[in-house]
Structure 1
Amino acid sequence: MTALYTRFCRSVLFPLHERLKSHSSVAQRRALEQSQWFNAETLQAMQLQNLRRFAATIAANVPWYQRLFSEHHIEPASMTLDDLQRLPRLDKPTLRANTEAFKSRVANKLARFNTGGSSGQPLIFFLGERVSHDVAAKWRATRWWGVDIGDKELVLWGSPIEVGTQDRIKNLRDKFLRTQLFPAFDLGESGIKQFIKSYRAFRPAHLFGYPSALARVAAYAKQHHVDLKQNELKVVFVTAERLYEEQRALIREQFGASVANGYGARDAGFIAHECPEGGMHVSAEDIIVEILREDSTPCRPGESGEITITHLRTSDFPFVRYRTGDVAALSTQACRCGRGLPMLERIEGRSTDFVFAQDGTAMHGLALIYVVRDIAGVHSFRIIQHSVDELEVMLVTTEWDAVRDQQVIDGMRARLGQSVSVKLNHCAHIPTEANGKFRYIISHVRM
């Protein structure tokens, strides 16, 4: 009966849902499942063709790229990868300062998104057709592991878009598609117990969430001899943070299922996903990944550099040579799975710390980040938890006032405890760490 319902969801309910939203994800997933088996040369030719189509569209309709292509004497219809590499890299400050110039004149139904990003700087951006690509690429990757739309999914997540908008339509959709969402913000003992209770009752085919959050549940289960193994669970999908091997081993040991890593971002898209043979495959049909040194020269295979992406499904609001701030290395190896998709050899991206409330409750660091990042006037920030009773918030702001100061203080105390000392440190600049990376939340508390 379960398999029949999954097939019904995959072939009827979800396609109807996507059609009503004017999404093309069903057709795109089918196409991606064919192209993944193309050899490297065929995929590169497809990618170049898609690049030229994308370049022609944005050159005609997006003010920023009309000017940029003209300045660099690039002809979109015959554009090459060498031409692409002549363009400057795109960073968040440039996007933030020129948002309107990045919008296509013919864009239809752009959806507004924002993200604090890994640097802690709020970024507003817009998505159109890329939404369908993200759904299709993720759908393809989950099917690699034998799970499909309609299989029971339990999500341990923290985004306010997913957690905070549980309206009737979304609740109804999740019910029919058999997805349950559990907030990752509160993972103290009581929160973990509640998650385990939900997990045991729901008996999902797959889990999806932050590696740090799922590893915390696994560590609790190991310490307290709680059996998390269930026959229904096939795989644990993790994303949004760097997956450390000790986390992978712990999650696999306690849940008794394989762990599949995914790499992407709300702004950058669904970039790469791990297959059962261990290959971290890039969604290369529509995403060009460059691994670059600080001077913008390309890294050799196996050499670590910054991930820079060109997303060929973002003609409504283009991301061309976009700097993700994450570090990785490309692989030249062929995967044993037989797919021709290129692979990342390793990902050395950032991870988010846990913080602790005065009562000992552990919560994902994003719980504090969301307090700050959406307040108008915040340019950048760093949150430092010195102890359970002392918090420092470094702020670089514009057009600020005492009301917003109090908004930050109240938000932090609502999560950590009303007697927490919250020190606001207004400064002109927040430095990077010694290794050149930016940490937007730091906790010195360990419990």
Structure 2
Amino acid sequence: MRTAKWLERLHGNATMYLTAIGQRGVPYMNSDALRERRDAGVRRMVRHAARYVPHYRTLFRREGIDPAGIRTFDDLRRLPLLRKTDVRANPDSFRSEAPVARHAIPFLTSGSSGAPLNVYHDPASLLANMAFGRRVVPLLERHGVNGTANRQLYIGYPGSTLQNVWRAHDEWAIAPMRPERCFVSLLDPIQSVLDAINNFRPDVVYGYGAYLEHFARAVHSRGLLLRSPKVIVYGAEVMTEEGRRLIQQDLGIPVYSDYAAVEVFKLAFSCEANNGLHVHEDLCPIWIARVDGQRADTGERGEVVISNLVNRGTVLLNYCLGDVAAVAATACSCGRTMPMLTDLEGRVEDTILLPDGRFLHPRAVWMIVRRRPAVIRYQLVQHAALRFELRLVTSDLEAFARVAPEVTGDLEGVFGAESHVDATFHDDLPLGPGGKFRMVIALQSGAQ
């Protein structure tokens, strides 16, 4: 048994290291060559979907679509738009039945567009995504970060997507050289997070955009000593331009953005020119849809539609991600040839400020609620400094009565002894503008 697992991990190594060959140069490839890589990926994934994925087998048969006729990215528009509600209604029909997907690993979305969704990623795609990370190494090297042997500190929540990716990497591959990593919980007090950074001395700090911005503001306004990392990389949500300026100019730390989602781990990244986000076109091509579902013009804002050409766990083609952006009309001055996204309106989440000076990221609430499968959807509203309302959607009142005291008790334990959380039952909680759902509404956002 141990020998079999060892051989699996050696095979994982081969997948990862062979995939890594040449990745540094992909962002600078000739545009025609990059598009050919993209279209070859489209053909491979459509063949896979037609053979192994129940949803697409049924779709192609019902609509009379010949999978062999879908040869390019533009041909994917022959498929109907796929929304999260479609996948959520029958998630197993989007799971591949291929042997490569037998050990696919589930990752849970946060539910920012409604109820959470499990998306499965096959081990080979997870290892390949690690290799695709070589594409951003030149950015790190600009600031003196070794592309392979570096120190990384991640501020997140236990059981986060990135932690699970790291765990899968350790399970399915053997890496003789890997970054030295440190995890810090976003539940920790600011001083504890600061101490962890100062003691570990990371080259790169990763975290949520809003959290890192609040952390930087606290460090700057309180005059705290920060032994600055060489680079900060944020994802999962937006960071304001004011926050980026504060970190880069006042704290002297370069800031980059990594645009990803649970549905697709490699979407786009910012560069030194800061003109937008470079799209991994050969891994996950993107187009922008108008409200009527038609393709938007270059520079016109609309909904981001993706097709994941890497993952063979949960197969998603022509999938509406829920974010709003535009495709840039001009190439970036940095020399990369990948298409660019601009005006990205991604997830914007409120941060709760408490009287004792702590700030709590919405993922701190998510950490508590996600352990209760009886909760279908939730929303926490801060009505006063220490007075909260927890709106819960459960299957029925009996489930609500069972789970509400547990969740409110745990939340009060986090917020402090003087806090009070009232739970209220709801049949549903409406989505907000752009189809996004605000799981936390903080006091400073105008909630009364």
Q: Structure 1-normalised TM-score?
A: 0.86
Which has the higher mean CA deviation after the structures are superposed, 431-440 or 112-121? Answer: 431-440
Q: State the match for 1:205 in structure 2.
A: 203
1:263 alignment partner in structure 2 = 259
**What letter matches 2:121 in structure 1?**
L
Q: 1:444 and 1:71 mapped to 2: Cα distance?
A: 50
Contact 2:113 2:435 (8 Å CA) reproduced: no
Q: 2:366 aligns with which of 356, 365, 369?
A: 369
Q: CA deviation at 1:66?
A: 0.4
Distance 2:442 2:50 in 1: 45
Q: Is 1:270–1:283's contact at 8 Å kept on the other side of the alignment?
A: yes
Q: Secondary structure at the match of 2:112?
A: coil
Question: In the TM superposition, what whole-angstrom CA distance separates every residue of 1:154-185 from its partner, at most 9, and x where no partner exists?
Answer: 22223533698899x97x99997321111122
Gaps of 5+ in 2: 1-6
* Contact kept in structure 1, 2:152 and 2:202, CA below 8 Å: yes
- Would you say the 8 A contact 2:52–2:96 is kept in 1? yes
- SS of residue matched to 2:305: strand
Q: Deviations over 1:24-68 (max 9, x none)?
A: 233223243233222222211221111011101110111111011
The correspondence for 2:226, drawn from 225, 228, 238, is: 228
Query: CA 1:225/1:376 → structure 2, altered by over 3 Å: closer, same or farther?
Result: closer
2:239 partner SS: coil
Aligned to 2:87: 95
Counterpart pick for 2:110 among 99, 116, 141: 116
1:185 alignment partner in structure 2: 187
Question: Relative to structure 2, which stretch is displaced further, 145-154 or 243-252?
Answer: 145-154
Quick one: structure 1 residues 71 and 119, their matched pair in 2 at CA, closer, same or farther if it must change by over 3 Å?
same
**SS of equivalent residue, structure 2 residue 317:** strand
Secondary structure of the 1:319 match is coil
Q: Hey, what's the Cα distance between the residues in 1 that align with 2:109 and 2:301?
A: 25
Residue aligning to 1:134: 129
| Contact 2:156–2:207 (Cα < 8 Å) also in 1 | yes
Q: CA RMSD in A?
A: 2.9
C-alpha distance in 2, partners of 1:328/1:27? 33
The match for 2:408 is 409
How has the CA–CA distance of structure 1 residues 374 and 93 changed in structure 2, closer, same or farther, with 3 Å as cutoff?
farther
CA distance change for structure 1 residues 159 and 41 in 2, over 3 Å: closer, same or farther?
A: farther
The equivalent residue for 1:307 is: 304
CA separation of 1:113 and 1:282: change in aligned 2, threshold 3 A? same
Amino acid across the alignment from 2:77: Q
Q: What does 1:324-363 correspond to in 2, within 5 Å?
A: 324-357=321-354, 359-363=356-360
Change (3 A) 1:68 1:351: same
Partner in structure 2 of residue 317 of structure 1: 314
Paired amino acid for 1:308: V
Which residue identity does 1:319 align to in structure 2? L
State the Cα distance separating 1:241 from its structure 2 match. Answer: 0.9
Question: Do the aligned partners of residues 396 and 256 (structure 1) sit closer, same or farther apart at CA in structure 2, a change above 3 Å counting?
Answer: same
Whichever residue aligns with residue 276 of structure 1, its letter is E
Q: Deviations over 1:184-235 (max 9, x none)?
A: 223xxxx2222222222222222211222222222122222334364xx432
Instruction: Tell me how far apart the structure 2 counterparts of residues 180 and 345 of structure 1 sit (CA, whole Å).
Output: 32
Please list every run of 5 or more consecutive structure 1 residues that lacks an aligned counterpart in the other structure.
1-15
Relative to structure 1, the CA distance from residue 40 to residue 441 in structure 2 (aligned partners, 3 Å threshold; closer, same or farther) is same
Structure 1 residue 318: Cα displacement: 0.1
CA distance in 1, matches of 2:180, 2:332: 32
Instruction: Work out the CA distance in 2 between the residues paired with 1:295 and 1:287.
Output: 23
Q: Tell me how far 1:264 sits from its aligned partner.
A: 0.7
Cα distance in 2 between the residues matched to 1:319 and 1:159: 27
Listed one character per residue, the Cα deviations across residues 114-171 of structure 1 (whole Å, up to 9, x for unaligned) are 122313512112110331233223332144321313211222223533698899x97x
Q: Is contact 1:163–1:183 with CA below 8 Å preserved after alignment?
A: no
State the 1:240 CA deviation: 1.1
Once the two structures are superposed, residues 395-435 of structure 1 have per-residue CA deviations (whole angstroms, 9 ceiling, x without a partner) of: 22225242212222222222113453322222223223356
Residue 270 of structure 1 aligns to a residue whose secondary structure is strand
Paired residues of 2:157 and 2:367 also in contact (CA < 8 A): no
* Amino acid corresponding to residue 289 of structure 2 in structure 1: L
Q: What amino acid maps onto 1:177 in structure 2? A: P
Of residues 104-113 and 89-98 in structure 1, the stretch that sits farther from structure 2 once superposed is: 89-98
Q: Following the alignment from structure 2 to structure 1, what is the Cα–Cα distance between the partners of residues 441 and 222? A: 28
1:141 partner SS: helix
> Cα offset for 1:300?
1.4
Q: Percent identity?
A: 28
Contact 1:358–1:417 (Cα < 8 Å) also in 2? no
Rounded to whole Å, the distance in 1 between the matches of 2:117 and 2:242 is 32
Q: SS at the partner of 2:97?
A: coil
Secondary structure in structure 2 of the residue aligned to 1:256: coil
Contact 1:228 1:254 in 2 (8 A): no
| One-letter amino acid matched to 1:63 | P
Instruction: Report if the CA contact (8 A) 2:26-2:135 is conserved.
Output: no
TM-score, structure 2 as length reference: 0.86
- Distance (whole Å) between structure 2 residues aligned to residue 195 and residue 334 of structure 1: 39
Structure 1 CA distance for aligned equivalents of residues 234 and 131 of structure 2: 18
Distance across 2 between alignment mates of 1:53 and 1:424: 49
1:227–1:254 Cα contact (<8 Å) kept: no
Asked if the contact 1:282–1:344 (Cα under 8 Å) also holds between the matched residues in 2, the reply is yes
Higher mean C-alpha deviation, range 217-226 or range 263-272: 217-226
**What amino acid maps onto 2:219 in structure 1?**
A
Specify the alignment match of 1:158 in structure 2: 157
Q: Could you tell me whether the CA contact under 8 Å between 2:12 and 2:127 is conserved in 1?
A: no
- What amino acid sits opposite 2:96 in the alignment? S
- What does residue 144 of structure 1 align with? 139
Q: CA deviation at 1:94?
A: 2.1
